[in-house]
Structure 1
Amino acid sequence: MNKSYSIVIAGGGSTFTPGIVLMLLDNLDDFPISRLKLYDNDEERQNKIAGACEVLIKERAPYIEFLATTDPKEAFSEVDFVMAHIRVGKYAMRELDEKIPLKYGVVGQETCGPGGIAYGMRSIGGVLELIDFMETYSPDAWMLNYSNPAAIVAEATRRLRPTSKVLNICDMPIGIEDRMAQILGLSSRKEMIVRYYGLNHFGWWTSICDKAGNDLMPAIKEHVGKFGYIPKNEQEQAEASWNDTFKKAREVYQLDPDTLPNTYLQYYFYPDDMVKKSNPDFTRANEVMEGREKFIFGECEKIVRAQSSADSQIKIDDHASYIVDLARALAYNTGERMLLIVENNGTIENFDPTAMVEVPCIVGKNGPEPITVGRIPQFQKGLMEQQVSVEKLVVEAWIEKSYQKLWQALTLSQTVPNARTAKLILDDLVEANKDYWPPLAEKKLQPSL
């Protein structure tokens, strides 16, 4: 482990960047860094974050070369890893993603349903641009992409950059596994060996054992059946929407008590409930802007003013430790077992081989090797076929600039009640996203005789 690595965080202005920087600094013994760069196309926003990150690095590892830039060549030259978490359109567009569907009584959520489709149409071009920068300036680098919506982005990279060294990852299963470990009284989710399959934000755990092979599923199922994914001794979180989500897992679990579900399935199984409890005037985007965003920017300003993080409330992003695990696996060929979004290619025997599925993989210097799942039940297969078709249609709509394909994608989403409502939502989304989406061409219908 003599080599130190050069990293660029793409999306340097994200409120998650300081927590990730702290996490990287906390893991320098396992994953040494010589250079850390931030890249964003919003200089003003990035500067708010970068000033604080510079102080954090000076305090903990002053030998690390630090740079914040809006210049792609400067950012992507001579790097080993690109850690990407961009949000094209920022929270202002997320707010519209959530509020436009709710206007029509449809789920308003950033990665599920119409909101996720809208966000996906914005994200595709942004992520492809980052891949192209990486391949131009550091062709041997790996991109660890955790930009949302991961399912649509992963399908776009499969179609449009099939040979790129990009791995699409998501921290939601990690967060749920952390809760499972707490429920069991374990010190870490890493004491569990899991089997899981599905699409991103759309999957199921089928087996959870400890390192000795003891079955942990019965104990977790018993708890989830009563309390959802809320550990008995946990205090309620400040963000009420997350408490509701983890409680709702109790109902989601009932659909298939042989498995344990990803919490995002609530939007597909109980869309009416999700709409009913949503405030169309104050959505999750507003919650984040009023809460997390103000808090992080305020804390960063405090750090810069004091030139010290002594009184800072910014915490290490423990969920993001999987990013270091993945980078280490690629750098040191560790054979780490991780959930990644990869092309199916037979991993799930009775499912579309070209689908981007989320499954455990063994990761080494050549990338991921998926662990075979075998055949899956009809219930999950049917749900996944519908959802993967939505994702593929969105990418086809982006490539072909097709209004029709995007309308089909919205109509096929389980969160949307009918094609008429899908069209009303789509027309509003087209107007809202005219600065971000490719212009869409509508098919002209033949006049009836």
Structure 2
Amino acid sequence: MSKKLKVVTIGGGSSYTPELLEGFIKRYDELPITELWLVDVEAGKEKQDIIFELCLRMVERAGVPIAIYKTLDRREALLDADFVTTQLRVGQLKARELDERIPLSHGYLGQETNGAGGLFKGLRTIPVIFDIIKDVEEICPHAWVINFTNPAGMVTEAVFRHTKFKKFIGVCNIPVGMKMFIQDVLKIQPQDDLAIDLFGLNHMVFIKDVLVNGESRFAELLDGVAAGTLKASGVKNIFDLPFSEGLLRSLNLIPCSYLLYYFKQKEMLAIEMGEFYKGGARATVVQKIEKQLFDLYKNPELNVKPKELELRGGAYYSDAACEVISAIYNNKQTEHYVNFPHKGHIDNIPTDWAIEMTCTIGSDGATPTPRITHFDEKVLGLIYTIKGFEIAASEAALSGKLNDVLLALNLSPLIHSDKDAEKLARDMLLAHEALLPEFAQTIAALK
């Protein structure tokens, strides 16, 4: 093992960074990081400065020899990096607010990873991730990139479809939240061996089995969730509605909370429209939470991750990333839930798809579990539909062409009119003009 272990976090000024550092601190014995570099852009400098000072205090309190650096020069930071984590938001939360409010103004769900909002977040993000990968290939080609920038599925699909870079793994907190829920309701003890068979796409995963010490306890779990005696684990950024008993029993699967957007589309839209008419949107709430967090972070007495961070929708993202990094670094061969190209392991989907499922992770990356080789036919149609949307979105992000945007919008099951797709494309391209350089010619033609 090398004496130096360098991690670079792009989007270092994120409110999640203290959780990432907390994860590194508590794993220091197995993951002896010597340098953590926080990278951000000029617009994020003020937040980066606050996070940097908090990180220094956290490291001092923990008494671990991790040197913390900050820079706006990504290429400087990447020199000799071993791991690069990406947690960026192009356009920050103001752009997210547009992603939510513009679709709602047309009567459609506004959400940062699904539908029109998810598409435009992808269009802004994918070119930036590609630029980062180009720098990594040139400056630190042996480094692994661990991505938890949303839309994680779309980003992972784009990377493996349109680049030759292979050391890239997408991470999401949704499966982690589902696992914590299962540990809680089944009263799993630390000495128990818990294995969860989870499959699908990012923000579209289903649990098909839960094994405790080799024995399935899925029926018990499904019965409890379906009957309402067990409350399915939600995430903070989605309204907590229960799936109907009929749906759960007919699927014989446990869907993640993001599937509310497809199985309860009418109800979710009604809730969001109600918030919209009152002047609200999830991004508005998040901006308030983030302001409160950064006010806390500024406190020179604070030297730990504050509990309030869990109010953000992405709690436990960072913990998932730390676990994946440790599994690669230590060749642990442990079970995780990640986004990666399955390369034909699943026998009833195209071999070149990037998917999200249970994998074993070691020094050579992610290997899909042999327990899942087939996606459940009952949900295959929905998975195909969303993957078609993701593939079209990744093409549009690179081409900068209006027709490619329209194709992606029309393929989304959350958009119900080709005419509305044209209005959404126009409004959102114009609103995000400054953050979509690949679309300069297209936007000029729309004006």
- TM, length-normalised to structure 1: 0.89
| Residue 115 (structure 1) aligned with residue 120 (structure 2) | no
Q: Deviations over 1:200-257 (max 9, x none)?
A: 111211111112x1111112111211338637xx9x99x5x54x33x43446953743
- Conserved? CA contact 1:202–1:262, under 8 Å: yes
Q: Aligned residue for 1:446? A: none
Correspondence for 1:363 among 358, 361, 364: 361
Correspondence for 1:148 among 147, 150, 163: 150
Residues in 2 aligned to 1:194 and 1:226: alpha-carbon distance in whole angstroms: 21
Residues in 2 aligned to 1:250 and 1:140: alpha-carbon distance in whole angstroms: 47
1:416-431 mapped onto 2 (5 Å cutoff): 416-431=415-430
Q: Aligned residue for 1:445? A: none
Q: Give the counterpart letter for 1:365 in structure 2.
A: S
Deviation at 1:388, TM superposition (A): 0.6
Deviation at 1:313, TM superposition (A): 4.8
Deviation at 1:349, TM superposition (A): 0.8
Deviation at 1:80, TM superposition (A): 0.8
Matched position secondary structure for 1:427: helix
1:48-447 mapped onto 2 (5 Å cutoff): 48-61=50-63, 63-187=65-189, 191-211=193-213, 213-227=214-228, 230=231, 242=238, 244-245=239-240, 247-250=241-244, 253-254=247-248, 256-278=250-272, 279-280=275-276, 281-291=279-289, 293-303=290-300, 306=301, 308-309=302-303, 313=307, 318=316, 320-372=318-370, 373-437=372-436, 438-439=438-439
Deviation at 1:344, TM superposition (A): 3.0
**5+ long unaligned stretches in structure 2:** 443-447
Q: Aligned residue for 2:445? A: none
Task: Indicate how the Cα distance of structure 1 residues 73 and 190 shifts in structure 2: closer, same or farther if over 3 A, else same.
Answer: farther
Q: Deviations over 1:161-202 (max 9, x none)?
A: 223411111111111111121111224698420112111111
Q: Give the counterpart letter for 1:309 in structure 2.
A: N
Deviation at 1:7, TM superposition (A): 0.8
User: How many matched pairs?
Assistant: 430
Task: Indicate how the Cα distance of structure 1 residues 31 and 256 shifts in structure 2: closer, same or farther if over 3 A, else same.
Answer: farther
- Conserved? CA contact 2:28–2:64, under 8 Å: no
Q: Deviations over 1:266-318 (max 9, x none)?
A: 11222221110111121111111112x02220111113xx4x52795566965
Farther off after superposition, 90-99 or 185-194? 185-194
Deviation at 1:40, TM superposition (A): 0.6
Matched position secondary structure for 1:439: helix
Residues in 2 aligned to 1:121 and 1:161: alpha-carbon distance in whole angstroms: 16
Q: Give the counterpart letter for 1:270 in structure 2.
A: K
Q: Deviations over 1:372-409 (max 9, x none)?
A: 43333433111111111101111111222221121111
Matched position secondary structure for 1:435: helix
Q: Aligned residue for 1:447? A: none
Task: Indicate how the Cα distance of structure 1 residues 429 and 199 shifts in structure 2: closer, same or farther if over 3 A, else same.
Answer: same
Matched position secondary structure for 2:34: strand
Residues in 1 aligned to 2:191 and 2:296: alpha-carbon distance in whole angstroms: 30
Deviation at 1:79, TM superposition (A): 1.5
Residues in 2 aligned to 1:4 and 1:230: alpha-carbon distance in whole angstroms: 45
**5+ long unaligned stretches in structure 1:** 443-449
Matched position secondary structure for 2:99: helix
Matched position secondary structure for 1:30: coil
Matched position secondary structure for 2:197: strand
Matched position secondary structure for 1:144: strand
Residues in 2 aligned to 1:225 and 1:259: alpha-carbon distance in whole angstroms: 10
Q: Deviations over 1:83-122 (max 9, x none)?
A: 1111111100000101111111111111011110010001
Residues in 1 aligned to 2:304 and 2:16: alpha-carbon distance in whole angstroms: 19
Residues in 1 aligned to 2:340 and 2:17: alpha-carbon distance in whole angstroms: 25
- TM, length-normalised to structure 2: 0.90
- Conserved? CA contact 1:23–1:318, under 8 Å: no
State the superposition RMSD in angstroms. 2.5
Task: Indicate how the Cα distance of structure 1 residues 441 and 319 shifts in structure 2: closer, same or farther if over 3 A, else same.
Answer: closer
